[in-house]
Structure 1
Amino acid sequence: MHRLKETRGEPLNDHDWLRLACELALLCPPSPAAFSVGAVVVGADGREIARGHSREDDPRVHAEEAALAKILPGDPRLPGATVYSSLEPCSRRASRPRPCSRLIVDSGVRRVVLAWREPLLFADCHGAEDLAAAGVTVVEIPELAEAAREPNLHLLSGGSAR
């Protein structure tokens, strides 16, 4: 689908793709009751498969859900793909039958890179742990957590920002 321009003459790396996910979170319509999150699905070949952000086309849609919905089920690229998400994929949802961590596992994706663990604000999230327990490799890049928090600062003024 899309491929970001290579920087420094080198292929894009986890930091580059995760930075894009953090930038996508800035596109989210603000909400007093939900995080603004961006997600990008990238194939093993380094090409973008899909991207999404929270509330992209529905006030209840999550970023990973939006991105994965743009990919046909059973797409052969998914087992080698990585989901880059500015926030830890959710492990519990009231508005949908399956949380994002389950959607990722069910899609066949075997690697997730995230910037920021979900703070204890709306739910006690264990997405990273659930993914790892299902055999998905989870990589956290905490130096990009500040970029992931930026579109959510209005939610954090009185809450935990782990």
Structure 2
Amino acid sequence: MTAADSAGDLDRALLRRAIELSHRCPPSTTAFSVGCVIADRDGTVIAEGHSRRDDPHDHAEETALKALSPDDPRLAEATLYSSLEPCGHRASRPRPCAALILETPIPRIVYAWGEPPVFVPASGGKHLADSGRAVVQVPELAEEAREANAHLAGP
């Protein structure tokens, strides 16, 4: 994974939008509240999502990806922004978000907060990076991303 230094102003702005979306999630004691934004190569938002938007088991990345056709040509140069590291394991559905992202050509993933081991082991970022995707964590925004989940992760 690359260092936070490689995150520019556009990355921070779109990651903050994902964090805003995380605050729209219906509360849950069994899942994190996460927001996701997918932007094309120019930084134009082409899809957004948040946890539990359409179904109690939906993850943010899953809802954003559903808005796009898997063969959408914009995905080949897109960036996916998530307030929380995409999951590498999942209790509620068979395919974790990292696997769903790998089914697309999205080459770059930016997230704020590394997934704490509250529900499943954190491994999504590593899995994406090991699969050749560029993965950037922006830890200076982690506390903002954590706020929507303070009831799960503690103060």
Shorter-chain TM band: over 0.9
For residues 46 and 149 of structure 1, the distance between their equivalents in structure 2, rounded to whole angstroms, comes to 24
Three-state SS of the structure 1 residue aligned to 2:15 is: helix
Query: Are positions 1:61 and 2:58 aligned together?
Result: yes
Structure 1: gaps of 5 or more residues: 1-10
Q: Is the 8 A contact 2:89 2:120 kept in 1?
A: yes
Q: Is the 8 A contact 1:41 1:81 kept in 2?
A: yes
Q: Is the 8 A contact 2:79 2:108 kept in 1?
A: yes
2:17 maps to a residue whose letter is: L
Match 1:148 to one of 145, 148, 152: 145
Three-state SS of the structure 2 residue aligned to 1:86 is: strand
Which structure would you say has the larger Rg? 1
Three-state SS of the structure 2 residue aligned to 1:49 is: strand
> 1:122 maps to which residue?
119
For residues 131 and 103 of structure 2, the distance between their equivalents in structure 1, rounded to whole angstroms, comes to 10
1:119 maps to a residue whose letter is: P
1:57 maps to a residue whose letter is: D
- Structure 1 stretches (4+) deviating beyond 2 angstroms? none
For residues 24 and 95 of structure 1, the distance between their equivalents in structure 2, rounded to whole angstroms, comes to 21
Three-state SS of the structure 2 residue aligned to 1:113 is: strand
> Which is bigger in relative contact order (C-alpha 8 A, separation at least 6)?
2
So what's the TM-score if we normalise by structure 1?
0.88
1:142 to 1:12, Cα distance in 2 relative to 1, 3 A: closer
2:91 maps to a residue whose letter is: A
Three-state SS of the structure 2 residue aligned to 1:58 is: coil
> 1:136 maps to which residue?
133
**How many residue pairs end up in the alignment?**
148
Query: Are positions 1:33 and 2:30 aligned together?
Result: yes
Q: Is the 8 A contact 1:12 1:46 kept in 2?
A: no
Three-state SS of the structure 2 residue aligned to 1:122 is: coil
Report matched runs for 1:1-162 at 5 Å.
13-157=10-154
Q: Is the 8 A contact 2:14 2:37 kept in 1?
A: yes
Three-state SS of the structure 1 residue aligned to 2:14 is: helix
How far 1:97 moved relative to its partner? 2.1
For residues 78 and 70 of structure 2, the distance between their equivalents in structure 1, rounded to whole angstroms, comes to 13
Identity of aligned residues (%): 55
- Pairwise CA RMSD: 1.3
1:61 to 1:94, Cα distance in 2 relative to 1, 3 A: same
Which whole-Å deviations, capped at 9, do the CAs of 1:35-61 have from their partners, x for residues lacking one? 000000000022111000000010000
Three-state SS of the structure 2 residue aligned to 1:109 is: coil
Structure 2: gaps of 5 or more residues: 1-7
